[in-house]
Amino acid sequence: MSDIDAELFTVDDSEATFHSHPTQSKFETFAKNHQQIEALHMSFESEDYPPLDFSRICLPNLQRLELRCVNVHLLQLTQTNTPSITSISLDNLTGEMGLHLELPELLSFSAEHTFVGGEASHSNDFGLSISRCPKLETIHTYKFRGLAGKNYCVLPSCESITLYRSECTDSLEILSAPKLTELNVRAAYSLDHVRVWDFSAATLADAIKLNTGEAAAVAAAELARNNELQDWETGRKGEEDAIALGFISKRGEWKESYSTGYGSESVNEHACNTVYKSTYTREMLRGPTQLVLELMDTSDTYAKQGQNDSSLPFFEIDTTNMKLSSSSQKHLTQHPRCSSMNDDEDGNAYMFESDGLNEYVAMTTGSTMGKAEFLLKELVFNFLGLVSKNVPLSDQDDDDGMLRMIYSQETTGVTYGHLDLVETYVRMHDPDINMSFVVNRLLEQKTCLEEESLNQVLRLLEKYGFNMIAQDLNGNTVLHRLFMTGQHDQVQMWTNPEGHFCDADWFKKGTTVDVVRYALDTCLGGRESLKLLNKKGETIEDMINQRKEKWTQLMGYMGTDEALERCQNEFEEMATLLLEGGPEAESGANERKGKKRRK
């Protein structure tokens, strides 16, 4: 070894220690001349070093790798160039690092103050890397940042995962980890989506498909966003589009210029939020989500249904200072293997943190309450297992936003929305989500005011055995909500030759006789639901009478005789239908259904 090499590194038997940061060429020369080393240590003080690419070195006998304050461009360690590694320790790596691991013997991975990113990095690198290390037992990190993507992973040997303060990390989807006993995501502030599925059928190939599919969804969303921005910048979209999207008013109250009026701020928000998110959601539902549903169908046991193999160990979870989405909270709260809760500094037990108690309480009960009442309620929900599909998700939850988007024409390109995507969403969240919640969200969409669209919703309810006696937090059943839909829409009327203002179908906004009939004939509990009161003390009949009084008076004053007659006939037929559909007529229900379907 030359004097220059001695200043750069020393080799003691099978252990090498670098004293100064090498260039790429000297690092490759070192690896070529020291194939026998089993341990490699690099630790420096300064940060101004040329980056290293580990994919270009080969150390077949290396077992332990320790890097501190090293500038790593790409940490690519595989069974081709470093097949014997059992331990990796990273500390304060400078710059942004690409990560690619595929190590058959790796047992432990630790990292602190290190950022995964840069040109050599790709979405889901973390999930793929740990999945390709089948013997990996412990993952211990602190401020290991930038783990982009969904991070689907299969961990057959992993017992402990710590992602303490893993910032710029949004998601962790563990498809399978049968030996997991500890999951610590403390203070990983942006990590709001966590799943521990325990799919018995999950394989490495599944993790690769899912991570590749999610990366494709990101690419499609980025392309859609960039195309949208380009359309505005080149003038292919302009004033008419801005009016349609609400950037400027029809009366020209705002400046109608891309550069000075509704401008780049509105367009960027539209492109990055609406266009990007809706495209990403659609592609995820059509791709990776379908694969997860297939795993549900092919796995004998998985956490969602609480059917885990009883031989699997419990795992403790630490979510201190976290703001998980409410669906993630419910997933972990109901998880049959999730055994313990956190303790705060005062020794009080709690499961999750958010913006405050009220958000979680509102999610579970629809109301707010004092802290003592909340803790009691939490005990009931967490320990007696009463968190069930009757509890809706939070109105502010990201999954709520997803459901809103997948039934929009903007996302699906279909007039009435895409029920297949809605059904995919429902399957993915059942039993975390209740069908009442789905109905609420779908009926809020303007596209749902059409009869055919309402019937699509009802068909979906029928398929999943929805019972119409289910009431939301305001006591409203599906029929209550059907009559409420569209009741506050603006009046669209015009003058006919006789001088009467007329829109004969205005009173039918939200529901019709045919829709009510379809609901009663299709869903369970239809007749029983007719007698239920909401919190205002209103039955369905009360709501119909209120609408009838309002619309018949209006048509009498402003409409034609024909419009008034149609309105009266509609409400009379609806009242008759509800009377026939009451509990006392249950014995003749089958005959009535047959007649109406033939009609």
pLDDT in tens, 518-575: 777 777 777 788 888 888 888 888 887 877 777 777 666 666 677 777 777 877 887 7
Name residues whose C-beta falls within 8 Å of residue 246's C-beta, 6 or more positions apart in sequence: none
Q: What is the CB-side half-sphere exposure of residue 159 using CA atoms within 13 A?
A: 5
Is pLDDT of 495 > 60? Answer: no
| Mean pLDDT for the chain overall | 75
Report the run of H or E that residue 114 belongs to, with start and end: strand 108-116
For residue 332, the model assigns a pLDDT of 82
For residue 81, the model assigns a pLDDT of 97
For residue 351, the model assigns a pLDDT of 43
SS3 19: coil
The most distant pair of C-alpha atoms in the chain lies apart, rounded to whole Å, by 107
Residue 551 C-alpha from the chain's centroid: 41
Is pLDDT of 504 > 70? Answer: no
Q: What are 296's two structure tokens?
A: 């549900």
Highest mean pLDDT among 19-28, 99-108, 410-419: 99-108
Instruction: Average the pLDDT over 378-388 and give the result.
Output: 31
What sign does the CA torsion over 232, 233, 239, 242 have? positive
Q: Which of 262-276, 281-295, 455-469, 478-492 has the lowest mean pLDDT?
A: 478-492
For residue 572, the model assigns a pLDDT of 82
Query: How far is the CA of 472 from the CAs of 151, 221, 444, 462, in angstroms?
Result: 35, 35, 15, 18
At 180, give phi and psi (nearest 5°): -65, 130
* Residue in 144, 120, 119, 4 with CA at minimum distance from that of residue 54: 120
pTM above 0.75, yes or no: no
Q: How far apart are the first and last CA of the chain?
A: 96
* Residue in 179, 208, 477, 413 with CA at minimum distance from that of residue 309: 179
Say how far apart CA 436 and CA 433 lie, in whole Å.
Answer: 9
Report domain extents, the chain.
Answer: 3-200, 214-365, 393-466, 468-599
Residue-wise pLDDT for 416-435, tens only, equals 445 666 677 667 665 545 55
In degrees to the nearest 10, what's the CA dihedral of 560, 565, 566, 569?
A: 160
Query: How far is the CA of 468 from the CAs of 416, 431, 480, 525, 532, in angstroms?
Result: 23, 17, 10, 5, 10
Q: Which of 87-101, 333-347, 441-455 has the lowest mean pLDDT?
A: 441-455
**Under 8 Å between Cβ of 56 and 32:** no
238-277 burial: b if 16+ Cβ within 10 Å, else e? eeeebbeeebbeeeeeeebebeeebbeebbeebbeebbbb
Is pLDDT of 460 > 60? Answer: yes
SS3 40: strand
For residue 435, the model assigns a pLDDT of 57
Q: Which of 179-188, 193-202, 384-393 has the lowest mean pLDDT?
A: 384-393
CATH number of the domain located at residue range(s) 3-200 in this protein: 3.80.10
pLDDT category at 586 given cuts 50, 70, 90 is very low
Residue-wise pLDDT for 344-373, tens only, equals 444 333 444 433 333 333 333 333 333 333
Is pLDDT of 390 > 50? Answer: no
Say how far apart CA 169 and CA 288 lie, in whole Å.
Answer: 19
Q: What are 22's two structure tokens?
A: 């090498």
**Under 8 Å between Cβ of 122 and 99:** no
Q: What are 286's two structure tokens?
A: 């059509």
For residue 254, the model assigns a pLDDT of 45
Is pLDDT of 598 > 70? Answer: no
For residue 128, the model assigns a pLDDT of 97
